[in-house]
Amino acid sequence: MEFEESEVLSESLISFLEKTELGTNGARYTHLDVRERVKKLDFPHSFTLKRNQTIVANVTFCFRDFSMYVRYFAFNTIYQSTSKTKRKRSSKSIFEIKILELFQKLERQRKLPFYAYIEADNSRSMSMSKRFGFTPYTHIISRSFSRLSPKLNKNISFSSNWSEISNLVRDQYDQYDSYFEAPVSQPPFVVLRDNEGCILAYARFTKVAWRIHRLPGFFGGVLVKIIPYLPLLRGLIKPKKHLFLTPDIVSGISNAEQLQDLFSGALALYDVKSMIWFIDPNDPVYKSVKRGFSWGVLDRIIGIKKINIMQRNAIRPYSAKHPFFVSAFDLI
C-alpha cells in the first residue's frame, strides 16, 4: 500500500468522503455539503491510501503558515469492519506505519506542528490520535443556540464589505492562538447597526447541512426516530437534512441581550432554526455572556460538548491569555 499525493481532491475521493459517517460514541452524522466545502479548502494536500484501486483511507491537510491542520482523516468502513482477523491486524500495523511515516516526512519538509479537533467522548479517535503522536493541547466547547421563530431585526443585515470590519476583526483576533483570515474574510457578514448606521456588533456564519443518524445520550438513536412526532423538536431538528449555522467570528458584543439579538437575527436571515457555536471557553465574548444568555431548547437537550485540540510536535504550551481561534469551517 502506498499513498497517492494530490493538491486536488479527486471525484472518487469526494464520493468516499461524502459517505463517511462522523461523530462520537453517542452522536453520529454525515456531512451533506462535502463537495461545496472541498472547493473552499485553504491549500489542501491530500494523501490517499489504496489497495487494489479501492480507497482504504485518506488524510487531507490544510497547509497554513503556523501549522498543518488535519482536515480529513477517514477510513473505509469495510476495512474497519474486518479488522478483527489476524490478517487484518497485520495490515493495520502496516497502515499505521505508513501514517507515521507521512507525518514524519511532512514535519521534516515543513518544520511545523499538526493539529486536529477530536470530540472528547470519541474514545476511538482519541486513542488513534495518540498512537500517531498527538497529545492534548487544549479544548474548545460547542453550544447550541435555537429559536423556533427567529425574528428579523431591521438593524441586522447582511454585508459583503470586508474592509468595513477588517480592522475591527484584526484588533480583536490578532492576539488569538492560531488566528488566520482565510475563512473569516469571505462574505457575507451579519452586522448589527445603530439607528445612525454605525456598526455595533458583527459576525460571520456558515450555513451547514448534516444528516443526523443519532443524537447524543443513551436514547439518542430512539430520539432521532421519534422527532417527527414531537411538536417542539420537529421544528428544530430535521434528521434527514438538518440545516444550521456556525459562527466563525463574533465581536463588538456589549451584553448578552445584544448577542441574542445578533444570533436570532442571523437565524432569520439564513432561514434556519439553530446554530452550533464552537468556541474556546476562555474567549472574552463567550465569558462575558454565558451566564445571562438564553440559549434555547436544543442547548438544554444537548448541553455543553467538549472538543479536544490535539497537536503533534507542538511549538509552545497553550495560554488562556491567548484563546484558540476556532474556524468553524474546519469543523463542518
Nearest to 221 by CA among 30, 22, 28, 24: 28
Tell me how far apart the alpha carbons of residues 205 and 85 are, in angstroms, rounded to a whole number.
45
CATH number for the domain that contains residue 190 = 3.40.630
Q: What is the pLDDT of residue 89?
A: 46
Asked whether residue 163 falls in the same domain as residue 301, the answer is yes
173, 314: one domain: yes
- Same domain as 202, residue 122: no
Contact 56, 50 (CB under 8 A): yes
Q: What is the CATH number of the domain that holds 59?
A: 3.40.630.30
38 with 103, same domain: the answer is yes
Residues 6 or more apart whose CB falls under 8 angstroms from that of 312 comprise 103, 107, 113, 114, 115, 132, 133, 134, 135
- Residue 265 near residue 150, CB atoms below 8 Å: yes
234 and 100, same structural domain? no
| One domain, residues 128 and 154 | no
Indicate the residue among 73, 108, 138 that finishes a domain: 138
Same domain, 52 and 66: yes
**Which residue range(s) make up the domain with 127?**
3-138
* pLDDT for res 95: 74
For residue 93, what pLDDT is reported?
Answer: 58
Per-residue cell: 162:
470586508
Residues 72 and 94 occupy one common structural domain: yes
Q: What is the pLDDT of residue 80?
A: 52
Last residue of a domain, one of 122, 138, 154: 138
Residue in the block written with cell 430535521: 238
Residues 86 and 148 in one domain: no
Phi-psi region of 52 (alpha: psi -120 to 50; beta: other; left: phi over 0): left
Q: Which segments in the chain show pLDDT lower than 50?
A: 81-91
Helix (H, G, I), strand (E, B) or coil at 73: strand
Shared domain for 60 and 171, answered yes or no, is no
| Cis preceding linkage at 228, omega within 30 | no
**CA pair distance 20, 35, nearest whole angstrom:** 13
Q: How many domains does the chain have?
A: 2
110, 147: one domain: no
Q: How many CA atoms lie within 13 A of 51 on its CB side?
A: 12
| Host H or E run for residue 46 | strand 44-51
- What pLDDT was estimated at residue 90? 44
Last residue of a domain, one of 107, 138, 169: 138
168 shares a domain with 107? no
What is the total residue count of the chain?
A: 332
